[in-house]
Amino acid sequence: MGESEMPPDKFLRFLIDFQGEEGTTIDDVERIMDRVLNLSLSHMTRYVFTVNDFFHYLLNDEINGPIKTQVHHDMNAPLQHYFIYTGHNSYLTGNQLSSDSSEVPIIKALQRGVRGIELDLWPNNAKDGIHVLHGRTLTTPVTLHKCLKSIKEHAFVKSPYPVIITLEDHLTPTLQAKVAEMVTSTFGDMLYFPKESDKDEFPSPDALKHHVILSTKPPKEYLRSKNDEDDGRCSISDRYCSNEVSTSTSQPLSEFLGIDYEDDDDDIEDEKYGHLKGLEYKHLIAIHASKPKNGTRKALRDEHRKAKRLSLSEQALQRAANLYGVDIVRFTQKYILRVFPKGTRVTSTNFRPLTAWMHGAQMVAFNMQGYGRSLWMMHGMYRSNGACGYVRKPDFLLNKGPNGEVFDPKAALPVKKTLKVKVYMGDGWRLDFSQTHFDAFSPPDFYTKIYMAGVPADVAKKRTKVIGDDWTPVWNEEFTFSLRVPELALLEIVVQEYSVDKDDFAGQTCLPVSELRPGIRVVPLHNKKERNLNL
């Protein structure tokens, strides 16, 4: 056997010494080699890698990708202990003011692994049916039936963990009763009903596997009857507590001002008997939610409520983080916080999610139909934990000190980890682009930008040199990043082609630092809308 061949024992040493895969056995090695060589055991005489075989292994992202691909977090903690992959206005195909509403973006989100779907419910023109659309805008509707059917068919194609449907409800109790019938008939046993044991905290993602959960606010007529008893507080186990306007308001002006109205003009005609017609609907609500009617700080500090969810706009979250961030962290240790985009993001852009995450906000609701760096960060975070849509929050966001103290997001922190990133080379662009795509007269001039996204002290940007006239650039440059909160850090990689006028985009990806595998890894790149490139 020549030196150009690698038998299983040498490959095992490579996996342990260079790839950091401690615990790998010779049986594991043979399984990997079998996949690379595509051999049939009945016809194989021996395992051995040639140089080309070894490079096929290195460039196979399914075997040698940059991050862990299996669910490996503890999935038995209460729901509020996890970041949850969450969409905003999940039915919109484009902008927030005039695009079509459709079940298609819902399906795409679920196929990606999104676990939080938002539906805005409005009466149809005849007031006898239910449409899903961004109300008081020019968006066209889609029927609730289509949306529910699509959720049922695609909810668990990517992940077995629960799908949370948040309802922004503008319906009369009569139509709420129709929603109850549609939801129960569509989902059947998939629909989760709260149990008495859920009284004080949420169930775990593992306990809720293959279930669909409804989240909304209590109806007004119920709140009026309950206010005298318990100030409108409600529980995950209170089967008579229902329906919420759970995300952004449907009124563009109110969104622009950062206000989320409760729609007090709804349900007038049904007030006298709404508590009877809406009863079935109330039974279906497993996660009850509220808005900070009397101020955000009071809502965050109310310690007498049972399991619940609070919704804040991105502006309200930022103000609260500036003034009383510790209160947010304390709140999110027990309850769920949802943060949604401001109304001026009419083109479906998104905000930077790191402020929300570093304060423990579980449901950072994003416009999945948009694109840009903020959305790349969101997708990058949820590549964690086998891309199952649930990422367990870091211990520092969950723990309390001996005197009940919690993490202070404003506190100065020491460096916790040093990350070294070496950019060796790039290849594959010629498979995705024509020979004249970047330069009509010569091969492209590629360079790589390395960003570190995270808490403010961890943010950094570095770049390689430009390699001129080469479809397969070799950079061989190493960069070092000092990280204070590596648990929330994201490594962004963007490749561009240098141009005198404006550099051309050539691919990007975003990876969670906490999931990175050591060693020499292949990193697939994506286009701006996160579709794969054959790189």
Ramachandran class of 45: left when φ > 0, alpha when ψ lies in -120 to 50, beta otherwise:
alpha
- State how far the Cα of 460 lies from the Cα of 483, in Å rounded to an integer: 10
Rounded to the nearest 10°, the torsion over CA 93, 252, 262, 135 is -40
Task: Give the residue among 244, 194, 259 at the shortest CA–CA distance from 363.
Answer: 244
Q: Catalytic: which of 88, 131, 288, 359?
A: 88
- Among the residues of 296-419, which ranges form H helices? 296-301, 314-332, 354-358, 373-381, 395-398
| CB-based burial label for 329 (10 Å; 0-12, 13-18, 19+) | buried
Task: Give the residue among 68, 64, 60, 111 at the shortest CA–CA distance from 90.
Answer: 111
23's tokens: 């615990």
350 neighbors 450 (Cβ within 8 angstroms): no
DSSP secondary structure code for residue 514 in this structure: G
Pairing of strands 446-453, 417-425: unpaired
342 neighbors 314 (Cβ within 8 angstroms): yes
Q: Catalytic: which of 81, 131, 134, 170?
A: 134
122-131 own/partner pairs: CB under 8 Å, 24+ apart: 122/170, 122/171, 123/170, 123/171, 123/172, 123/175, 127/172, 127/175, 129/175, 129/178, 130/171, 130/175, 130/178, 130/179, 130/182, 131/101
Q: Residue 73 catalytic?
A: no
Beta strand ranges found along 182-308 (DSSP E) = 212-216, 285-290
| Contacts of 185 by beta carbon, 8 Å cutoff, 6+ apart | none
169 neighbors 285 (Cβ within 8 angstroms): no
Q: Residue 88 catalytic?
A: yes
Residue 326: CA atoms inside 13 Å, Cβ hemisphere, count? 8
110's tokens: 């679920």
Known catalytic residues are 88, 134
